[in-house]
Amino acid sequence: MSEISLIDRLAPLIDERCGIIRRVRRFIFPPGFEGQMHGFTAFLGRPAALHPGPSSVGSKLGSLTGSGTAVDETTAQIRAVCEALERYCGVMYPTEGVLRATPRSLGDRALDPARLPRCSARERARAPSAFRLREPDPDRDELWVRGFSLTHERPIWVPLTATYMGLPLPIREHALFPLSTGFAAGASFRQAILSGLCEVIERDSLALFWLHQLRMPRIAPGSARSPLVAALLRGAEAAGTETALLDLTTDVGVPVIGAVQTCAHGAPHAIAMAACRPDGEAAAARVLEEVGSLRVALSEPAPPVTRASFFTDADQTPESFGRLYAGPDGPARFAFATREAPVATAFPRPIEGDDPLAAIVARIAALGMEVVAVDVTMPEVRDFGIVVVKVIVPELLPISFTHHARYLAHPRLYDAPERLGYGARTEESITDDPIPFA
């Protein structure tokens, strides 16, 4: 399906009065960045009227948005609309087909909540009670939705609270902090699953990189052969912004490229993001487009953010994490990556073969990990040729937009840096600075 036909197909979903998406609005880029790319925000309509019941985001459903940036205008529109549809399907939790059972009774027919990332005892002790995720209990009733293990090629029950956002439950009843990571929309299940899986891998890399302040390689300027990457780097430089591209690829072996952009003459002074793709230069192009979206968000007027606020019981928005490093002292917080890290002269090797999804699932399986996908597509979205999935890899490390749940008990947080050659790590060596990724 071509991009033009896809945006035409999705057009009936956009209606100010009764559409799933209320409207799509063009970004206004800050001075110096105009004309480098296109950007759009897609605003959800009034889905609260269709919601299956009470929700922790029920009153905010109309304020949920999707954003998209790209050098190509149509691609940017599609990305914004599809991200909004991901948000919509991610909060419209099911009321039918949900199973209530204990993990012990389901055995290997279910994804054991004990395999999911967990907070450490010290982390839980520091967190306000409202932000303490519940500990797994094999004999506690759990709500489950049907998923599919791509690793073992069989159906599997998945905890509802590890899948959906917006459930009518307090955070302390969740297995994982509700987050959009792993949700992806596509014109096919394989396309959507690949996109969601890449995001899960990307977030794992970001968590390892930031929590341990790993000096992962900087990619030498001029290494890119892609004209798009070169053009985006030139555009940022012309606007007075310095860009450091980082190779954040881990033992998973799928290229993850980080970008840290710093600017001395105006806010935001520091922005950090990453992207994962089967090809490293494609990941670089994607992250350079995505920083455009974040730059717009961080340029909008907002109350100041202080580090102390992340340690209170106040909830934080994703943008708050980015704003914390947008001030004049922001660039210095990334010096370990932009100034002190070793230099690589090439991008990571791409995933080879005609089926990148199968190749990535095989790589993850070889590490003893499992890829699980849940079809969360709402019927009214499926009718327009779009499917939405939630991808979960319990052995990979997520990030969350609360400083009270960083999953500091997850074994990968300590195993992976040592396997990657960064030496032994402990909880005491983890930075206490909140993540900078919005």
CATH code at 315? 3.30.160
Q: Which of 91, 112, 144 is the last residue of a domain?
A: 91
Tokens of 217: 């390689």
Domain shared by 225 and 329, yes or no: yes
What is the residue range of 64's domain?
Answer: 6-91
In degrees, rounded to 5, the angle at the alpha carbon of residue 359 between the alpha carbons of residues 210 and 244 is 30
pLDDT in tens, the chain (438 residues): 566 678 888 899 999 988 999 999 999 999 889 999 999 999 998 766 666 666 565 445 556 899 999 999 999 999 999 999 999 999 999 989 999 999 999 999 999 999 999 999 999 999 998 889 999 999 999 999 999 999 999 999 999 999 999 898 998 999 999 989 999 999 999 999 999 999 999 999 999 999 999 999 999 988 999 999 999 999 999 999 999 999 999 999 999 999 999 998 888 999 999 999 999 999 999 999 999 999 999 988 888 888 888 888 666 788 899 999 999 999 999 999 999 999 999 999 999 999 999 999 999 999 999 999 999 999 999 999 999 999 999 999 999 889 999 999 999 999 999 999 999 999 999 999 999 987
Q: State the pLDDT at residue 313.
A: 66
Domain shared by 159 and 270, yes or no: no
For 407, residues 6+ apart whose C-beta sits below 8 A from its C-beta are 117, 118, 119, 207, 397, 398, 400, 413
Q: Does 349 fall in a domain? A: no
Rounded CA-CA distance 311/354 in Å is 47
Number of independent structural domains in the chain: 3
Which amino acid belongs to residue 44?
L
Domain shared by 85 and 104, yes or no: no
Q: Does 438 fall in a domain? A: no
Rounded CA-CA distance 58/398 in Å is 25
pTM greater than 0.85: yes
Q: Which residue has the tokens 């943008």?
A: 319
Domain shared by 224 and 334, yes or no: yes
Q: Does 198 fall in a domain? A: yes
